[in-house]
Amino acid sequence: MAAVAAAKPASRRVGFVGAGRMAEAIAQGLIRAGKVEAQQVLASAPTDRNLCRFRALGCQTTHSNQEVLQGCSLVFFATKPHVLPAVLAEVAPVVTPEHILVSVAAGVSLSSLEEEGAMVLARGRHARSGEVELLQTLLEACGQCEEVPEAQVDIHTGLSGSGVAFACVFSEALAEGAVKMGMPSGLAHRIAAQTLMGTARMLLQKGQHPALLRADVCTPGGTTIHGLHALEQGGLRAATMSAVEAATCRAKELSRK
């Protein structure tokens, strides 16, 4: 295992069992950041419907899940949660101690993965520090990557995984407000997206609580405080908290199934 962990990321073969949007996003991030070469990526799926996007990136593809495990030491499982148990049983005969297996399927517990000898970022019994560090190094190409206790994985799904859709709804609503006041739709949506991106960048760069940035842009009697009052009257804060709670609860339900 030490020899595998010491291998350079760019020379490592990376596999994807499942070729949906999540798998494609991770693969694109790794390739664009130079963490892995496109031809070193191998993805599997039952049909060519999603594999064509991997081929467009220059990646290798197959319809055999076992072929991915036989050719790659680091494998991401990106199937639907209800499909994963059958997939794990299928590939179990070719799993070796040299494999690092990562699930990005929502609602799948470590115990169910460990029954097939899998290792994930939310560290299970078999995952070692070197493997976790290697995975974090690779996934930094796709954004922030941190090790968390398994109990927080479902919360992360509700916050970050589902949060993309929540942020899109808010961006859409911002733009529609501007359209209502007379701004062209295309321009309104571009400005709304840029506003969210700029806000996120400032929060990450400054590392401060969002309330501090909010207070900085609120002048007494100004436009922003009047707008915030309208948001509070509409229950935005409570609705958003409830959305994260609902998504987290659903992730927990999936794990129990």
Q: Which parts are annotated binding residues for NADP(+)?
A: 78-81
| Binding site feature residues | 65, 78-81
| Binding site feature residues for NADPH | 65
98 CB neighbour count, 10 Å cutoff: 11
Q: Residues 101-137, buried b or exposed e (16+ Cβ, 10 A)?
A: bbbbbbbbbbeebeebbbbbbbbbebbeeebbebbee
40 CB neighbour count, 10 Å cutoff: 20
Give which of 60, 68, 53, 56 is closest to 17, Cα–Cα.
68
Return the H-helix or E-strand segment holding 212: helix 210-216
